[in-house]
Amino acid sequence: MAWEYEARHTIEALRSGIPSRAIGRHFSEARADLLASINETLDRVVETQKSEAAIISGKYGEGKTHLLNTVWELANRRNMVVSMVSLSKETPLDKLHILYPKLVANTYLPNHAQPGFTQELSRLSANSVLLQHLQLYAQNQLETNRLYYHLACLVKSDDPEEQYLLETDLMGDFIPNHQINRIYRRITGEKAQFNKPFAKTKNALDYYHFLSHLFLRLGYAGWVILFDESELIGRYGKKARQKAYLAMDHFLDPSESLKGVFSLFAFSSSFTADVIEQKGEYDTATESFPDDAEVIHKTLDAIVQAKQLEPLSTKEIHRILEGIITFHAKAYDWNPMIDPKLLIRKIEESGGYLLRSKIRSAIEYLDQLYLYHSEGTTTLTALQEETYEIPTYEELFEEE
């Protein structure tokens, strides 16, 4: 019964065209060379705890999000924490302090169905070695020492409201320094000695670095951050786009403070022509951001040179269709007697050049065989405009 539910969930996800972790778990054979490279990178990150990053590029509907979900499953197998966000104006890469809570809200511990990690903070205690390591890191490796005092307050405070404030701060609802100082003074009788004022617009990167170290100290093998729909950076304003490229560099060329992180950005293949070239991003960086131009150019080069998702081979599509046939049979408890080669021919005849469209055509064809024991055709005719006569008030309430 569990397998039947899983199979039906997978088929319905494929039918909707919405990528999911279930699809990534069960359909991960395609693009073997690219996945082999990512597997090697993940192994290296786990072994060395040094952060790395990559960029992939592909056409719309050709499987970028599916690949990210496959990488999610590869990370799960390695006991790595995973965060996945789709970039947009509401989830802006150019504003790391706004991106951070979005990222944290979509952070999953290995093999957890629901996001969240604050439950792990219960493992901290006032005299634990774990706390000592984290405070030492916060004191010496970050730009500000705010999180050193934050941790001291977190483990020593017995006030539920203070605990709540400190946990939400770690989730990205940053509280002012004076609140941390107030809690610290109440607990210890001493004033917190901040080495510099914390400003979320300038120092939010400290929280990314701290989480990377926290996950390792909690016993996880690392942290995978997946950025989907990165091409939406192109909808930002000129200044915001340049800041987004600078922010990308923190992940593409990470400092030593970012520990055990693999970051993967997925871009549309049209981004180079439609944004970088058409909007003159290299020239804009040189003219308007001369101090940061070199870093921005390096990020732009990385996007232009990103690994391209090649169209799937007939052999790869054949394997995917075999899997779809198997899952459809399990989901609806029947035995579809159809050759995958015939199914390939049928979906090629149906039109649609996107991989997503081909998969949905294959499921539609199997649906017809299952329901009617024969194949049918689906066509879209012109939509006809309906006209409605709106009754007057008097007509609505006219007495019979």
Give the residue, 60 or 385, on which the prediction is more confident: 60
Chain center to CA of 137: 27
Predicted local confidence at residue 339, as pLDDT: 77
Three-state DSSP state, 117: coil
Residue 97 tokens read as: 């302090």
DSSP string, 2-34: HHHHHHHHHHHHHHHT---HHHHHH---SSHHH
Average pLDDT rounded to a whole number, residues 182-191: 95
DSSP string, 181-242: HHHHHHHHSS----SS---HHHHTHHHHHHHHHHHHHTT---EEEEEE-GGGGGGS-HHHHH
3-state helix, strand, coil in the chain (%, to 5): 60, 10, 35
Q: Which DSSP letter does residue 259 get?
A: B
Q: Which helix (H) or strand (E) holds 85?
A: strand 81-86
Residue 376 scores a pLDDT above 60: no
Three-state DSSP state, 265: strand
Q: Would you place residue 386 in the very low, low, confident or very high pLDDT band (cuts 50, 70, 90)?
A: very low
Mean pLDDT of the chain: 87
pTM of the model: 0.83
Residues 192 and 150: their CA atoms lie apart, in Å, by: 10
Residues 246 and 182: their CA atoms lie apart, in Å, by: 35
Predicted local confidence at residue 314, as pLDDT: 74
Residue 32 scores a pLDDT above 80: no
The gap between the terminal CA atoms of the chain, to the nearest Å, is 57
Residue 132 tokens read as: 């000592």
Q: Would you place residue 379 in the very low, low, confident or very high pLDDT band (cuts 50, 70, 90)?
A: very low
Residues in the chain: 400
- The predicted-structure confidence for 235-253, as pLDDT tens digits, reads as follows 999 999 999 999 999 999 9
Residue 380 scores a pLDDT above 80: no
DSSP string, 336-347: ----HHHHHHHH
Residue 138 scores a pLDDT above 50: yes
Q: Worst-scoring range by mean pLDDT, 67-71, 143-147, 205-209? A: 67-71
Predicted local confidence at residue 22, as pLDDT: 59
Residue 80 scores a pLDDT above 50: yes
